[in-house]
Amino acid sequence: MLIVSNGHGEDAVGMALAAEIGSVAQLAAFPLAGAGAAYRGIPMLEPRRQLPSGGFGLRGSWRAIWADLRAGIVSLWLGQRARLRQLRGRHHLVVAIGDVYCLWMAARAGGPLVFIATAKSEYNEPHRWLERMLIRRHAAAVFTRDQATADALRRAGLPATYAGNPLMDTIGLTGTLVSPDANGPTVTILPGSRADAYTNLQPLLHLCAAVARRVQANFLCALASSIDVDRARTSVEAAGWQATGDLLKREGATVRLTRAFGDAVQAADVVVGLAGTANEQAAGLGKPVVTFAGPGSQITPHFVRLQKRLLGEALVTGQTWEDAANSVIRLLNDPKERAARGTAGRERMGGTGGVARIAETILALLRER
């Protein structure tokens, strides 16, 4: 079985599926966006490359597009398509995880194709007619991230099912105590999993310092596995912070770096994220999430609007990091608002168990082959 995915969150879903299926089937993974840091112990296909925009060049500025072009996005795309064509007919099943572009690319490998549509929801960005046409042409089975999207695709005559949101199965709660201080509320910042994360850290840390001047709070920063800690420290030192081990300090604020994403979010009273999937997962864990347009090519004003439509009242948006800091302080002082927004996030994101149910269908399809 070949797993094709295009994003850090999608790679994590692919790894979770592999854990369910790996004892039964021989697996390979092809992460189209980034190096595929979430995949462990599975052969990964080439070419792979971390682009400056993290795959969001077409949604960003001309500067982001030009940076991707200089980094070789055209040769990467041609190489990935050629590699998938070489694999045509070699797999009993292909699973595409992400958006319809991922599905279209995965179809180059031929064979029955399962599409796990994590990127779009009826809440924020319904699938357009061209996307529905490609789903109809290529996908033997479709799994959506929520019931509303499954219903909409079925009305269009597509074989869509909602088996649970697979993104909620990849949070990775370990029970690790990550809060630096038992006293006071905790704010967890999420800089994202793509190249933007290094520049996203700076406004997020400005926010932490602003909050710390007005509220006694703990601060955690959850770094994705795709982010280099040393490069992150260099970025924050350039912003005037002192980095010692896993602690960042400035102006009376102390922020602890951690790789334990799920535990850092679980410990939070409020989450501030310049992220895609990570913001959604935080909302699904019942945490109010604050966001604003970041300095990079992913978290643009348009992206923020789409995420607001997706998460509804779970997400608080601001124009700037200063706006976001005020929202954090308000939420820390209002437990009723935090609870209401947490409930909204759980409702929009759904519960766990989606990966296991999707794996059951995939195993049944493999047995038929």
Give the per-residue pLDDT at 182: 57
Give the per-residue pLDDT at 63: 67
Give the per-residue pLDDT at 256: 94
Q: Could you tell me whether strands 247-250 and 242-244 are parallel, antiparallel, or unpaired per DSSP bridges?
A: antiparallel
Ranges under pLDDT 50 in the chain:
57
Are 286 and 293 contacting, i.e. CB atoms less than 8 angstroms apart? no
pLDDT tens-digit profile of 202-235?
Answer: 999 999 999 999 999 999 999 998 899 999 999 8
Give the strands of the sheet with 28-31, arranged side by side.
28-31, 2-5, 94-97, 113-117, 141-144, 160-161
Give the per-residue pLDDT at 359: 96
Are 149 and 143 contacting, i.e. CB atoms less than 8 angstroms apart? no
Give the per-residue pLDDT at 181: 59
DSSP per residue, 125-148: -PPPHHHHHHHHHH-SEEEESSHH
Three-class DSSP category at 250:
strand
DSSP per residue, 235-248: HHHHTT-EEETTEE
Angle at 24 between CA 23 and CA 30, to 5 degrees: 85
Give the per-residue pLDDT at 51: 73
pTM of the model: 0.91
Task: Tell me which long-range contacts 340-344 makes (C-beta under 8 A, separation of at least 24).
Answer: 340/313, 341/288, 341/289, 341/313, 341/314, 341/316, 342/286, 342/287, 342/288, 342/314, 343/286, 344/283, 344/311, 344/312, 344/313, 344/314
DSSP per residue, 160-225: EE----GGGG-S--------S-SSS-EEEEE--SSTTHHHHHHHHHHHHHHHHTTS--EEEEE--T
Give the per-residue pLDDT at 238: 86
Q: Write down the domain spans for the chain.
A: 2-164+353-368, 186-349
The DSSP letter of residue 8 is: H
Give the per-residue pLDDT at 55: 57
42/40 Cα distance (integer angstroms): 6
Nearest to 161 by CA among 123, 114, 105, 119: 114
Give the per-residue pLDDT at 231: 92
pLDDT tens-digit profile of 185-195?
Answer: 999 999 998 88
pLDDT tens-digit profile of 168-186?
Answer: 999 987 777 666 555 789 9
Correct CATH for 186-349 of 3.90.700.10, 3.30.2400.10, 3.40.50.2000, 1.20.1300.10: 3.40.50.2000
The identity of residue 230, as a single letter, is D
Helices 73-86, 62-70: crossing angle, 10 deg rounding? 60
289/311 Cα distance (integer angstroms): 9
For the chain, counts of helices (H) and of strands (E): 14, 14
CATH homologous superfamily of domain 2-164+353-368?
A: Glycogen Phosphorylase B; (3.40.50.2000)
Dihedral-angle region of residue 299 (phi above 0 means left; psi in -120 to 50 means alpha; beta otherwise)? beta
Are 155 and 2 contacting, i.e. CB atoms less than 8 angstroms apart? no
215/119 Cα distance (integer angstroms): 36
Give the per-residue pLDDT at 298: 83
Give the per-residue pLDDT at 53: 62
